[in-house]
Structure 1
Amino acid sequence: MTDSDKNYLSLLVSDTPGVLQRVSGLFSRRSYNIDSVTVGGCEKTSFSRAIVAVQGDEQRMAQIGSQLNKLIDVVEVNRFGAASAIARELMLVRLSPPAEKRAELQSLLDLFRFPIIETAVDSLIVQVTGDKEKNDAFLAMIARYGIMEIVRTGETALARH
């Protein structure tokens, strides 16, 4: 995938039950793949903002936007490409580093400014925030420290102005 194929759809939707199901149902019925989706409250009361990361050329993106605009609960659809977006993803990573490698791991985390948010006798949890590619590269770097579990939020994005 190239950055020219990566797009974000910012959907302002009514904050009502079933909205995400109707939006994702539209994608599955049309055989469109969602790379990631994040949903949460926004600046308008009684509404939520969904950020959907998808791949597609101009024609496909126009078609998706048109179909989303037909959904009753979708109030607004804005599309922007990766080049005109600020996108981030949050990951929580549970690691089980050997005792002799904890100082080395701490130095690496300090370099990236990723905090340890919980420490246990046999593991620790690190908070990682960055673009998807940076996070993937970071995971490859820390694999030797014993990754036990990873949870990712998916990308969220804002258009640059």
Structure 2
Amino acid sequence: MRRQVYSLLVDNNPGVLSRIAGLFSRRGYSIDSITAGMTADSRFTRITVVSSGDELILSQIEKQVRKLEDVREIKLLKDDEAVYRELIMVKVRADAKQRPEVLSIADIFRAKIVDVERESMMIELTGDQSKLEAFLNLLDGYEILELARTGITGLSRGIKDVTYLV
């Protein structure tokens, strides 16, 4: 099994994300993560899909996604040629006594404290998956009340394959 990150540039039309997810569902392909957001040009949305499978399945995913009417471009992002990031928000039970320890862990990872209550703290962290996993491992001794992850988003490095749509 191999993991593949697909960066899709699609028309910003209603239901486009649903159609892409539906294609995966109908064909029985797995989605490890999916993120979507408008680009600098409001006519287009960038969707990052992470999937895993053997070479045949990953090749079929690319071919099937290319056929969708709303898809303008698909790039296969490779680990050494792209930058990936993910955002997590973690709400940790931390009273006044535990707070300095949690702050220390957050500082090591350059995480932001985005909310503090009497019995809890909310921490925001952005990075690659290994950084986020290492952070969560250090929080293992604390009670995680809630956790939200965005999933991977990524772009290829440099300007050699930038697409300009008119």
User: What is the TM-score with the length of structure 2 in the denominator?
Assistant: 0.88
Matches within 5 A, 1:12-51: 12-51=9-48
CA distance in 2, matches of 1:11, 1:138: 29
**Where in structure 2 are there 5+ consecutive unaligned residues?**
159-166
Which one of 91, 94, 112 corresponds to residue 94 of structure 1?
Answer: 91
Partner secondary structure for residue 69 of structure 2: coil
CA distance in 1, matches of 2:143, 2:57: 41
Contact 1:98–1:145 (8 Å) recurs in 2 = no
| Deviation of 1:45 (Å) | 2.9
1:84/1:6 CA distance change after superposition, 3 Å:
farther
**Where in structure 1 are there 5+ consecutive unaligned residues?**
none
CA distance in 2, matches of 1:135, 1:45: 30
Aligned length: 158
CA distance in 2, matches of 1:70, 1:34: 18
RMSD: 1.5
Q: Which residue of 2 aligns with 1:103?
A: 100
1:54 aligned onto 2:51: yes
Identical columns (%): 42
